[in-house]
Amino acid sequence: MVGPRAWIGGLFNRSANRRNERFHDYHLTPPQEERLQRLQERLQTPFDESRPDHQAALRDLWRFAFPNVVLNGMISEQWKDMGWQGPNPSTDFRGCGFISLENLLFLAKNYPASFQRLLFKQGGNRATWEYPFAVAGINVSFMLIKMLDLFSEKPRCLPGMNFVRILGEDEAAFDVLYCVAFEMMDAQWLAMHASYMEFNEVLKVTRRQLERELSLEDIDRIQDLPAYNLVYQAQKVTLDNFRRDLNYEDRLNYEDRDHF
């Protein structure tokens, strides 16, 4: 290409090169470097179905999902009820490793309302053929790892750089971001009236939105992301319902005392 357009293209390329140089030249603080290294070590841990601690983590996830249902075994058709592809969940971890199970457990322990809503597809006009919860969760983990460039020595993109800065202040930043991303993905799923075959497209849209939010200048915590409101609202609705039900029980007890 020649002429003015070629000059404009060259200008953009030089600007992009300068940005890339800035991404490569930045330095990590000691806390950032230490926590990034620990996170990257987590990324390198495969799921090992022979390890007792990995088996225990998987059983914990089952108890969070179905507290009143006895699990028949580590290999069981019951696992399909949680959204695993087959009776042995370990085969689904090959693409991401143990960290994806840790992410699901973090969601269950710290944001139980979101966990239950996403697992049982509560709310919204749902598709006839819904995405499988557990496998979707693994895909969200892998999407975040790629988006943040966590397989590199240090991230080379603006969202990744901002994430490492946040990580330096909060070691749980990746797990919290995972919870936000899962809620975002489900919100996009509903907004796009998607079906199972469109899951990858929903994931791409979710990634683009997260990249935009993580590129904002005034983000100091994952909780500062606009999308964090999705997680917050899920917890708030559950708490409000609990208080409403508690008040209802209090009224019943009061009426019973008057009656007798």
At residue 243 the predicted structure's pLDDT band, cuts being 50, 70 and 90, is: low
Q: What per-residue confidence (pLDDT) applies to 43?
A: 97
d(CA 232, CA 235): 5
Per domain, the residue ranges of the chain are 28-250
Contacts of 136 (CB under 8 A, 6+ apart): 83, 182, 185, 199
Q: Work out the average pLDDT over 185-192.
A: 96
At residue 234 the predicted structure's pLDDT band, cuts being 50, 70 and 90, is: confident
Q: Residue 239 above 90 pLDDT? A: no
Share above pLDDT 70 across residues of the chain, in percent, rounded to a whole number:
81
CA 57 centroid distance within chain: 18
Question: Dmax of the chain from CA atoms?
Answer: 94
Among residues 87, 148, 137, the alpha carbon closest in space to that of 111 is found at 137
Q: Work out the average pLDDT over 204-219.
A: 96
At residue 181 the predicted structure's pLDDT band, cuts being 50, 70 and 90, is: very high
At residue 54 the predicted structure's pLDDT band, cuts being 50, 70 and 90, is: very high
Among residues 77, 192, 182, the alpha carbon closest in space to that of 119 is found at 182
The residue type of 25 is D
At residue 23 the predicted structure's pLDDT band, cuts being 50, 70 and 90, is: low
Task: Give SS3 for 80.
Answer: helix
Task: Look up residue 50 and give its DSSP letter.
Answer: T
What is the number of other CB atoms lying within 10 angstroms of the CB of residue 3?
7
Among residues 134, 149, 216, 211, the alpha carbon closest in space to that of 180 is found at 211
Q: Residue 29 above 60 pLDDT? A: yes
Among residues 223, 209, 229, the alpha carbon closest in space to that of 170 is found at 223
Contact 181, 48 (CB under 8 A): no
Q: Work out the average pLDDT over 195-217.
A: 95
Q: What per-residue confidence (pLDDT) applies to 145?
A: 98
Q: Work out the average pLDDT over 49-69.
A: 97
d(CA 221, CA 158): 15
d(CA 183, CA 160): 20
Among residues 38, 41, 57, 39, the alpha carbon closest in space to that of 49 is found at 57
SS3 readout for 9-46:
HHHHHHHHHHHHHHHHHCCCCHHHHHHHHHHHHHHCCC
Q: Residue 84 above 90 pLDDT? A: yes
Q: Work out the average pLDDT over 21-47.
A: 89
Q: What per-residue confidence (pLDDT) applies to 224?
A: 96
Q: What per-residue confidence (pLDDT) applies to 260?
A: 33
Q: What per-residue confidence (pLDDT) applies to 217?
A: 87
